[in-house]
Each structure stands twice: as structure tokens, then as C-alpha cells.
Structure 1
Amino acid sequence: MFDSLSDKLDKALHVLKGHGQITEVNVAETLKEVRRALVDADVNYKIAKEFTSTVKEKALGQGVLKDLKPGQLMVKLVKDELTELMGGEVEGINLSGNPSIILMSGLQGSGKTTFSGKLANFLKNKKTKKPLLVACDIYRPAAINQLHVVGEQIGVEVFSDEGNQDPVAISKAAIAYAKQNGHNVVIIDTAGRLAVDEAMMTEISNIHKAIQPQETLFVVDSMTGQDAVNTAKAFNDTLNFDGVILTKLDGDTRGGAAISIKSVVDKPIKFIGTGEKMDAIDVFYPSRMADRILGMGDVVSLVERAQEQYDEEEARKLQKKIAKNQFGFDDFLKQIQQVKKMGSMKDLMGMIPGAGKMMKDIDIDDDAFKGIEAIIHSMTPEERSNPSIINSSRKKRVAKGSGTSVQEVNQLLKQFTQMSKMMKMMQGGGGKKMMQMMGKMR
């Protein structure tokens, strides 16, 4: 996401490199390019102009960071203003009330039903809640079926009343059911509607008045750019919603909606959808997103994801195996599974500072580990626990069984040996020795 914008901002900020000091002339040049990059990313021209005017004012009045190079100072100013533009502070979800009622709204095709499932999954696993999903799209039977499929997938109950054509009555009945059955969160998935459709907007307004939700969320497809911002404004005029959900941020999005929606509707972005899987949901952190847009990565989110998959007991077992030289391919396979649970490879690479820029023209497949897994699964249990016994005839058999070449099998064995040595060195307090080795490699 934001690849094109990141690239253009990077080029714009390069204008200042080599200048001894910040002057009005080189600031104007740089900010003209920054403004152009924002407009190209589908940010409203007025917002882009205000943004660059604020940065210019701060840059010319800046006296605190004189020891930094102008380029670095400008990056910091742009980053700070981007963070402010996207909301400044992270906004949590309001889970007061028993049960907490969350009303989902948005256009057709914005990803409401899928995101309702993702949110239920997030609240169940991360907040230890017992959510209830409610099917209130009475116009599209497929939406009710879709919600049931999603609910089954994540292990969350779905309330529906397919014979009932009154979404207000369905919502009330669902809340009563939630109270009786110990559900402490109710997520109501409503029909998609156009802001110009008066009858449909009246309907969701009636649902809102009847159930008095703690959270009314507007789900918007980030790929629609500036149109998404205009739609959000129309919905907000009717519903006065509490927050925005941006979906499909893993797609070919220019980023305009993420950057400018807060300043137009004055409502925070609370969550973002970053993929198709049910766990592809992130709390929206304006500062972290600004870092990613400027190619600085997002190490904090990367560490958080790693910690979520970290199993202390497994880590202890692994340490013992490394110490005894018993680290085998089965252990390696477990490590791969943990990395895969952290999210898509492209998304993870974007969190590593500098890696996003290096990998921007490389298509990172989510099945990046497929070949490695196939090779390991083609080994016998004995070969997996003791790779040193894999001779040339065994390599041929493994290559044939995994649909790969002997060369690929050799490459994996070589990488595995190097990794095992490095892990052993780290384990034995040989960090210094490893740094010496890396020094020689340069």
C-alpha cells in the first residue's frame, strides 16, 4: 500500500539533500513536489495545500534542530504533519455497555460483512470478548449466508431472522438474545446503501435511534480514494458515526482516503483491513502509518505481531535443541508456520525500515514458503531430524517428491546449515564472534 505515494515523497524530499541550510527557495521546491505527490494520491487539493503551507511555516521558523541536515529535518516535519492529518493519536473502540453494541454502516461492496467478521474475531481473540454477529441485511440473502459462513469460520455465533423484514426489530431481538446468552458484544451488519437513497438512509437512522449503539462505524473501501471521503461526509451528516474503518488497504490503493478522511469528517480511523484472511485487521496508528508512507517501516507493529505468535514453552524447547545440536527441519517448519501467522510477506517487508523501497518492484508471493515446505514434507522423519544423512540419492528422491530440483534441495540444505550454525553461535554467547564473521563477509 502507498507504494506510489512513498516513492514520490521520497523523490520530493531528496531535493533538499546537499543544501547547507533550509531556505525559502528550496523549501518551496520540495513542498511543491510533496503537494503534487499528495494530489496524485487522491488527497483533496485544498487539504494538500493546507498541509504543505503548515510544513513550510514550521520549516522556516524551525530553530531547534539545526544540527540535523535539512533533508532529515524536512522528513521529520512531513512525518509529524502526516501523523496529525491522519488523527494524531490512536483511537480505541468503545466497549462500554453490557452488551457493547457496534453498528456497521457503509456502501455496498465496501467490505462490511467481511470486516464485521474480522472485528468479531479481533474482539474474541485480543479482547477476550464473546461477540454476537447480527445479520440485518434484509435485501441480500447472500449477505446473511456470507455472515453465517464467516461466523462458522471464526467460531462466533450469528443471529438472523430471515423471515423478518424489519431490521430494527431484528436488531432489538438480537440484543435481547445477547443478554440472555452471555454475549458481551453485539456487531450489527447492515445493508449497503447509497447516501443519496433517502429511504435507506432513514432506515439506518431508525436502527441507530432504536438501539443507541456505543460505536457506529463507517466502513469504506480505501481503493475508492476521494469518493470515499465524500461518501463518509454524507453518511456522517445522517449518522454522526464514531469512527472509520478502511478496508482493502492491501490493494492498489493510492492512499488519499487514509490521509484526508479525518480532516474532512473529523472522525478517527479506528481500524484498517490489510488482507482477505480473518486476522488481517490492524488498529490504526497514525504515527506508524506516517512512518510507513515515508518508507521508515513500522518496527513496533512488526515486534507486536511477533510477540503475539511467541510461545515461551516452545522457545525453551527450541533453545535446548539448539544447545544440543538437535535443531532439525521439523523445528524449522514450526518457525515458518509462526512467521506465516504474522501476516502477508509483502506487509511484513513493508514494516522493515528501508526494505519496502528495496522490494517495491519485487512481487512477494504469500506462498513464498511453499517450495521449502514441499521439500521438508518430502523428507522422511529421520532425514528431517538428522539432515546430515541426506546424500545424493536421497536428494533426488526429495526433489522428485516435492516437485523441485536437486539444486533447490541443495540450496535449502546449505541455508539450513548456515542458519543452524548462526543460532548455535548466538546461543553460546558468541555474538561477538558472529559480528567478526559478518565483518569479514563485507
Structure 2
Amino acid sequence: MFESLGKKLQDILDNVRQQGRLTEAQVKAAMREIRMALLEADVNFNVAKDFVARVSEKAVGQDVLTSLNAGQQVVKIVHDELIETLGGSAQQPQLKTENNVWFMVGLQGAGKTTSTGKLAAHYKGKGRRVLLVAADTQRPAAREQLKVLGNQVGVPVLEVQDNEPPHVTQQRVKEYLQKDFRDLVIVDTAGRLQIDENLMDQLADLKTALNPTETLLVVDAMTGQEALNVAETFDKRVNLSGLIITKMDGDARGGAALSARFVTGKPIYFAGVSEKITGLEPFYPDRVASRILGMGDVLTLIERAQQAELSAMDPNKKITDFDLEDLLLQMKNLRKMGPLGDIMKLIPGMSKMLPEGFNVDEKQLKQIEAIIQSMTLRERRDPKVINGQRRKRIAAGSGRTVQEVNRLLKMHDQMKDMMKVMQRMGMGKGGKGMPKMPFGR
């Protein structure tokens, strides 16, 4: 997500950053480029127009143009306005001590049922007693899917029957809670293939009966501008309180996610970052803005490291001695934290070092492991000895190509550089507020 937009904005701002003093004409030229980059990323026209206007107004101020580091100030202004566009400060759904009822709405295929299961896992992990209500009677197997997710998470699921009136559903939920106390009820409602008045009436009736404390719209980041029209329609009918953006790990241009907060006026509470049941993260506008501009996101990196069970390498080994066996261990560690390409981008400055679309999946990890296991112990410990003849032998022994061996050796150099960056940030030492990560010393 945001990969193409991020690279374009980073290139534009790199040119600005290199300038000492700036003229008003230079700022306006950069703003035109930024506006085009936003529109090409499927950002809503009014959002792009308003964003550029706000940045321009601040960037052409006398205190900026006369500054010796005007370029840096413009970059900061763009960063600040990106945060504002994405929602300003991070917000989360309101949670009372009890009687929390959340209503999940959205189009079919947006990931609503999966997000319901992920929310259950997220809040169960925080000590909440969750009840899921399978109220999607429209999509075949939707209720069964939620029961599977509920079993996976370890929370009960109350199944709504076909043609069950809303007041009956409300009474059944009430009776269930009297027998088994639950302080958070999450209702998975029927998705809509399109905005249908009859179905929207049914949704409104169910909401009236259950009187939810939060009404969350699940928006598929891949649907582009149409998602915003859907959001506005749902808001008019059922009064949304917040949004969940799914498939943020996909290759969408990102315009819908960037526009959603501005167009709907509703905060983005969560983002779906993987298909795993744990793949739902609170949405932090400042962190997302930093990722878009290639500034990394160290806090998210630390949080993911804390949640993953990582294998430690030899604590006495220095990063300068980082070898190919260590590379394989660390790649397995990083894979536990999420897609490798996404994790690398959380490290400040690393996004520019990666080729577009960079990632390593489980299949590629096995291929890398085969290459490393075809090396002698000396070659694994000291990759510098691997000359052309050795590369051919390693490729033949692993069933891979010489080009793949070359890519692995280059990846080793990049990973070694990354470890040095992380060590400088204190992440290898377990400094104050940071986990001790298995990167050596």
C-alpha cells in the first residue's frame, strides 16, 4: 500500500530538500507535482486539492522562503499535513466497562467477517470477554465462517437464524448475556453487493433494535474511489462512528485509504495488514505518514518484534561478523513479524534501498535455505571468498541459478547494513522502552 505514491512523493521532496533557499515558483512547481502524484494514486480530487492548498499556504510563508533550510521545512509541512489528512491523532473505539455493542457494516468482499474475527482476537488479548453475533444471513457460509473464526480465537458465536426479526435477535443477545457475562458484543451484519434500499432498511432496523455503541464501516482499500461513495451512503443511513481499512498490505494505489478520513469525517480505527487473525493494527496517522514519505516507523517495528517469538543469534557475535547463517536466522525472524518487504520499510531510510515489490515469502525462504546449505562452512562464515567458480558450484548444488546466488549475497550485504542501522537506534541492545532484539551486538 502507498508504495507507488510514496516513491513519487519521496522523489519530489528529495529535490526540494536539496535546495537551500526556495522561491515561490519552486514551491508551486513542487506542489503541482505532488497534486498529480496524489491524483494518480486515486486520491479523491477534493482531498488532493485541499491538501496541496494547505501545504502551499504554509510553504510560501516568509519565514519558510527566507530560511536557510527551506527545503527541510517544506518536507516537514508535507509530513504534518499528511498526518492531518489521515486523521490527526490516533483514535480508538470507545469502550465502557460493560454493555459495549459494535456493529460491523460494509459491502460484500470488503473483509467484514474476517475483520470481526480479528477484532475479537485483538480485544480478547486485552482481557475483554467477547461475544460474536453472526447476523449475516445473506451470504452463503458467512455464519459458518464466523463460527470457525470464533473457535480459532476462543470466543462464543451466537448465530442469527434466517428471517429472524431484529427484536428477536436483540432478546436472544440479552438472554445470552444474562447467562454468560460478556463485556463486548461484535455483530457481523449482512454485506451488500451494492447499495440496496431494502437491505439498507433491514440494516437500519437491526441497528435500532441492538442500539450499538459503535458502528464500524469496513472499507476495502483496493476498491478505490467507490469505497468513499459507499462510506457516505452508509453514514447517512446508519450513522457511522469509525472505519476499518482492510487489505492495507495489498498493492492498491492507496487513494481510498488516504481520502477516507477527509471525505467521511470519521476516524480510521484499524488497518488490516495481513490475512492472519492477528493481522489487524490500530491506525496511527503519524506512523502511516512517515511510511509514505520513507521515514520509517520504528514504533510499529518494535511492537511487532515484541509480539513475535524471535530466535536469538549468538549474543557474543558482532554485527561485523554477520554471516549467511545469521542472515537465514534473521530472515526467519522478520518473517514472523510480517511480510519482509513491509518490515524493511519500517526502518528509516530502508525503503529507498529496496527494489519495487521487494518481498520474501515462505517458498523463497526455502530456496534461500537450499542455497546456503549448498555452501561450505567457510563460505557461510565468510561470503567474501565466494568467487565466480564457487557461485556456479553452489547454484548447481542447490538447484538454483547463479543469478539467485548473486541476489542472496547482495541481500546479505543489505541485511548487514540494516542491522547496523537498527543497532544505532538501540534496538539490538534493549534500550529504554525497546525490546532486546536478536541482532547481536
**2:29 & 2:326 partners in 1: Cα distance?**
54
**2:13 & 2:166 partners in 1: Cα distance?**
52
**1:145 & 1:212 partners in 2: Cα distance?**
25
Residue correspondence of structure 1 range 43-442 to structure 2 within 5 A: 43-61=43-61, 63=63, 69-125=69-125, 127-162=126-161, 165-193=164-192, 196-309=195-308, 338-367=333-362, 368-371=364-367
TM-score normalised by L of structure 2:
0.78
Instruction: Please state whether the residue corresponding to 1:93 is helix, strand or coil.
Output: coil
| Alignment correspondent of 2:388 | none
Gapped regions of structure 1 (runs ≥ 5): 324-328, 379-383, 389-398, 432-442
Instruction: Please state whether the residue corresponding to 2:35 is helix, strand or coil.
Output: helix
Deviation per residue, 1:256-308 (Å, 9 max, x gap): 11211111111100000112111111110001111111111111110121123
Question: How many Å apart are 1:363 and its aligned residue?
Answer: 3.3
Instruction: Please state whether the residue corresponding to 1:80 is helix, strand or coil.
Output: helix
Cα pair distance change 1:97/1:332, threshold 3 Å:
same
**2:359 & 2:69 partners in 1: Cα distance?**
34
Count of aligned positions = 396
Gapped regions of structure 2 (runs ≥ 5): 319-323, 382-394, 429-441
Question: How many Å apart are 1:184 and its aligned residue?
Answer: 2.0
Cα pair distance change 1:42/1:331, threshold 3 Å:
closer
**1:305 & 1:291 partners in 2: Cα distance?**
17
TM-score normalised by L of structure 1:
0.78
Instruction: Please state whether the residue corresponding to 1:346 is helix, strand or coil.
Output: helix
**1:178 & 1:47 partners in 2: Cα distance?**
44
Question: How many Å apart are 1:70 and its aligned residue?
Answer: 2.9
Cα pair distance change 1:190/1:377, threshold 3 Å:
farther
Question: How many Å apart are 1:31 and its aligned residue?
Answer: 0.1
Instruction: Please state whether the residue corresponding to 1:104 is helix, strand or coil.
Output: strand
**2:263 & 2:248 partners in 1: Cα distance?**
19
Q: Contact 1:98/1:185 (CA < 8 Å) preserved in 2?
A: yes
Tell me which amino acid in the other structure corresponds to 1:187: I
| Alignment correspondent of 1:396 | none
Question: How many Å apart are 1:10 and its aligned residue?
Answer: 2.0
**1:22 & 1:307 partners in 2: Cα distance?**
43
Q: Contact 2:137/2:162 (CA < 8 Å) preserved in 1?
A: no
**2:171 & 2:330 partners in 1: Cα distance?**
46
Question: How many Å apart are 1:405 and its aligned residue?
Answer: 10
| Alignment correspondent of 1:24 | 24
Question: How many Å apart are 1:235 and its aligned residue?
Answer: 0.6
Question: How many Å apart are 1:20 and its aligned residue?
Answer: 3.4
Identity of aligned residues (%): 45
Tell me which amino acid in the other structure corresponds to 1:117: G
Alignment RMSD: 3.7
| Alignment correspondent of 1:33 | 33
Q: Contact 2:59/2:65 (CA < 8 Å) preserved in 1?
A: no
Deviation per residue, 1:49-98 (Å, 9 max, x gap): 11111111101125279666333222111110010011100001212152
Cα pair distance change 1:267/1:3, threshold 3 Å:
same
